Amino acid sequence: TGGRVPGSLLRLSDFEPAALKRAVELAREMKRDPGGWLHSLRGAALGCIFEKPSTRTRVSLATAAHRLGMHSMVISRDDMQLVHGETWADTAQVLSSYLDAITLRTYEHTTVEQLAGRSSVPVVNALSDDHHPCQALADLLTLTEHFGTLAGLTVAFVGDGLSNTCNSFLEACASTGMHLTVATPPGHEPAASLLAEARATMAATGGSVTVTADPAEAVRTAQAVYAEVWVPMHKRHERAERAQRFAVYRVDRELLDRAAPGAVVLHCLPAVRGEEITSDVLDGPRSLVWRQAANRLPTAQAVLHTLVTAAQS
C-alpha cells in the first residue's frame, strides 16, 4: 500500500518507491501469466510516437498493449502535422481525445514534458535524451529476479554518466536502496541536481551513489556491472572523439574479474560488440542482458496497465 501512481511516466522518479515496487511486482505476475490480462484494457487505444529508431521499446510496447486488449498504433513524427509546425501541445490535446495513453520517443526531455503538459491521458516517456524509465523498470525486474532483494545490493554503471540510461538507473537505485558507483570520464558525471535528488531519496531508502573516473574501482565490490554504449543516438557526430575518451570504460572479462565473485552483467542494448562490451561477456554465463531485453515486455505491460487503470478510475 502507499505510493501514488503518477499521471504520466516521464522519468522513473515519477513513481514513488512503493508504487515502483508494486509496478515491478505486477510485471513479475504478468510475466508468469502473460495471457491473464488479455481483456483488462479491452477497447482502449495506445499511440506510440517515435522520433528516433527503436527495436525493443517499439515492439515491447505494441505487444504489451496487445496483451492488455488495447489497440496500438505506431506513429512516426514525420507522418504528423508536427512537420508543418503544429505544436506538441496542440498535438497532445487532439491525440488525447482519441487515445487512452500516448508514448513518445524523442530528443529533448522538454518535448515529452510539453506533450504530457497538455495531454488528458497518461504519457509514457519511451526515451528522451535525459531519461529512459521503461528501460530502468526492466533493469529492476531483471535484478529482482536474480537477487531477490534489491535493497543493499552493490552495483556499478560503466560508461557515460550523463546518459539517459545512467540517469534512470540512478533513480532506480535511489528508489530501491541500492549502492551505485558510476565510472565515467571527467566531465561526464551525472548532473549535480540528479545526484542531489537521488541522495535525498537514498536517505530514506538506504542506498548510496559514488562517482569515479576509475572503472576498476567502481566494479571492485559490484554484484552487477552495467555496460553502456559510448555513443548515444543524439551524439553520433562525436563518435571518433568518444571512442578515445571512453576506451578504458569497456566491460570485458578482465574488468569483470575485478568485480564481486559471481557478478552479473547488464546492458540496455543495442550493443556495439567489442566497444563498450566484449562478445564473450555479452554472450557469457554472467550476462543477464538477454533476459533484461525480454523483460521490456512485462514491464511495458505493467506500466500501461498501472497508468491507464489509474487514469480511468
- Give the binding site for ligand CP (CB under 6 A): 54-57, 127, 135, 268-270
Nearer to ligand CP, 109 or 179 (CB): 109
Closest separation in Å from C-beta 274 to ligand CP: 19
CA distances from 277 to 32, 49, 91, 135, 262 (A): 30, 30, 40, 18, 18
Nearer to ligand CP, 207 or 298 (CB): 298
Question: For residue 56, what is its C-alpha cell?
Answer: 525493443
Distance separating alpha carbons of residues 19 and 7, to the nearest angstrom: 12
- Residues 251 and 276 sit within 8 Å (Cβ to Cβ): yes
Nearer to ligand CP, 11 or 56 (CB): 56
Closest separation in Å from C-beta 117 to ligand CP: 24
Closest separation in Å from C-beta 74 to ligand CP: 12
Nearer to ligand CP, 57 or 306 (CB): 57
- Element holding 158 (H helix, E strand): strand 154-158
Residue 53, phi then psi, degrees to nearest 5: -65, 160
Nearer to ligand CP, 42 or 273 (CB): 273
Give 179-229 as a DSSP string: EEEEE--TT-SPPHHHHHHHHHHHHHH--EEEEES-HHHHHTT-SEEEE--
Closest separation in Å from C-beta 54 to ligand CP: 3
Nearer to ligand CP, 195 or 297 (CB): 297
- How many Å is the Cα radius of gyration of the chain? 19
Closest separation in Å from C-beta 269 to ligand CP: 5
Closest separation in Å from C-beta 18 to ligand CP: 26
Closest CA to 225 of 152, 308, 288: 288
